[in-house]
Amino acid sequence: MIYPKPQFRERYENFIGGQWMPPIGNAYFDDVSPVDGSVIAAVPRSTEKDIDCAVSAAEKAFQSWRNTSASERSNILFRIAQRIEDNFEELARIECWENGKPIRETLTADIPLVIDHFRYFGSVIRAEAGDVSDLDPTTVSMEIHEPLGVVGQIIPWNFPILMAAWKLAPALAAGNCVVLKPAEQTPVSILAVMEMISDLLPPGVVNVVNGFGPEAGKPLASHPRVRKIAFTGETTTGRLIMQYASENLIPVTLELGGKSPNIFFASVMESDDSFLDKALEGFTMFALNQGEVCTCPSRALIQENIYDEFMERAIKRVQAIKLGDPLDSTTMMGAQASNDQYQKILNYLDIGKKEGAKVLTGGGPAKIEKYPNGFYIQPTILEGHNKMRVFQEEIFGPVVSVTTFKDEDEALEIANDTLYGLGAGVWSRDMHQVQTITRGIEAGRVWVNCYHLYPANASFGGYKHSGIGRETHKYVLNHYRHVKNVLISFGKKPLGLF
Amino acid sequence: MTEYPRVEITKRASELVDRLREQHGELIFHQSGGCCDGSSPMCLKKGDLRIGAQDVLLGEIHGCPFYMSAAQFEYWKHTHLTIDVTEGRGSSFSLEIPLGLRFVTKSRLFTEEEAKALKPVRTGDAKA
Residues of chain B numbered 1-40 and touching chain A (CB < 8 Å): 30-40
Q: Do A234 and B34 touch (CB under 8 A)?
A: yes
Q: Do A257 and B94 touch (CB under 8 A)?
A: no
Q: Is the pLDDT of residue B126 over 80?
A: no
Q: Are A211 and A47 in contact (CB under 8 A)?
A: yes
| Tens-place pLDDT, residues A11-24 | 999 999 999 999 99
Residues of chain B numbered 60-119 and touching chain A (CB < 8 Å): 69, 71-72, 75-76, 79, 86-95, 97-98, 100, 102, 104-109
Is residue A106 situated within a structural domain?
Answer: yes
Is residue A151 situated within a structural domain?
Answer: yes
Q: Do A255 and B31 touch (CB under 8 A)?
A: no
Is residue A249 situated within a structural domain?
Answer: yes
Kindly state whether residues A205 and A281 are assigned to the same domain.
no
Kindly state whether residues A212 and A275 are assigned to the same domain.
no
Kindly state whether residues A275 and A244 are assigned to the same domain.
no
* CATH at A420: 3.40.309.10
Which residues does B36 contact at the CB level (< 8 Å), separation at least 6? Answer: A156, A157, A158, A183, A232, A233, A234, A257, A292, A294, A396, B91, B92
Q: Do A340 and B88 touch (CB under 8 A)?
A: yes
> Chain A partners of B92 at a C-beta cutoff of 8 Å?
213, 233-234, 236-237
Kindly state whether residues A325 and A239 are assigned to the same domain.
no
* Residue (of A485, A489, A469, A493) closest to A151 by Cα position: A469
User: Distance between CA A175 and CA A162 in Å, rounded?
Assistant: 20
> Chain B partners of A256 at a C-beta cutoff of 8 Å?
34-35, 38
pLDDT of residue B128: 44
pTM of this structure: 0.96
Q: Do B49 and A350 touch (CB under 8 A)?
A: no
Nearest neighbour of B49 by CB, restricted to A29, A236, A392: A236
Kindly state whether residues A128 and A224 are assigned to the same domain.
yes
User: Distance between CA B128 and CA B126 in Å, rounded?
Assistant: 6
pLDDT of residue B34: 86
Is residue A98 situated within a structural domain?
Answer: yes
- How many Å lie between the alpha carbon of A371 and the closest alpha carbon of chain B? 18
Is residue A472 situated within a structural domain?
Answer: yes
For chain B, which domains are there?
7-119 (2.60.300)
Compare all CA atoms of chain B with the CA of A388 and give the residue at the minimum distance: B75
Kindly state whether residues A200 and A83 are assigned to the same domain.
yes
Kindly state whether residues A219 and A327 are assigned to the same domain.
no
Q: Do A395 and B76 touch (CB under 8 A)?
A: no
* pLDDT-derived band at B2, boundaries 50, 70, 90: confident
Residues of chain A numbered 53-92 and touching chain B (CB < 8 Å): none
Among this protein's residues, is A296 annotated catalytic?
no
Domain count, chain A: 2
User: Distance between CA A214 and CA B96 in Å, rounded?
Assistant: 9
Kindly state whether residues A268 and A245 are assigned to the same domain.
no
Is residue A461 situated within a structural domain?
Answer: no
- The overall average pLDDT reported for chain A is 97
> Chain B partners of A461 at a C-beta cutoff of 8 Å?
none
Is residue A96 situated within a structural domain?
Answer: yes
* CATH at A107: 3.40.605.10
Among this protein's residues, is A294 annotated catalytic?
yes
Kindly state whether residues A183 and A150 are assigned to the same domain.
yes
pLDDT of residue A402: 98
Can you give the residue range of the structural domain that contains A270?
Answer: 261-448
* Residue (of A395, A185, A420, A402) closest to A303 by Cα position: A402
Kindly state whether residues A131 and A110 are assigned to the same domain.
yes
| Tens-place pLDDT, residues B25-52 | 999 999 999 888 778 999 999 999 999 9
For residue A285, CA distances in Å to A97, A288, A380, B77, B96 come to 22, 5, 12, 30, 33
pLDDT of residue A129: 86
> What is the ipTM for the molecules in this complex?
0.95
pLDDT of residue B89: 81
User: Distance between CA A232 and CA B44 in Å, rounded?
Assistant: 19
Residues of chain A numbered 116-145 and touching chain B (CB < 8 Å): none
Q: Are B56 and B33 in contact (CB under 8 A)?
A: no
Kindly state whether residues A248 and A267 are assigned to the same domain.
no
**Average pLDDT of adjacent 10-residue blocks, chain A of 498 residues:** 97 98 98 95 98 98 98 98 98 97 97 98 94 96 97 97 98 98 97 98 98 96 98 95 97 96 98 98 98 97 98 98 97 94 94 96 96 95 97 96 98 98 98 98 98 97 96 96 97 96
Kindly state whether residues A104 and A51 are assigned to the same domain.
yes
- The overall average pLDDT reported for chain B is 92
Q: Do A156 and B91 touch (CB under 8 A)?
A: yes
Is residue A3 situated within a structural domain?
Answer: no
> Chain B partners of A347 at a C-beta cutoff of 8 Å?
104-107
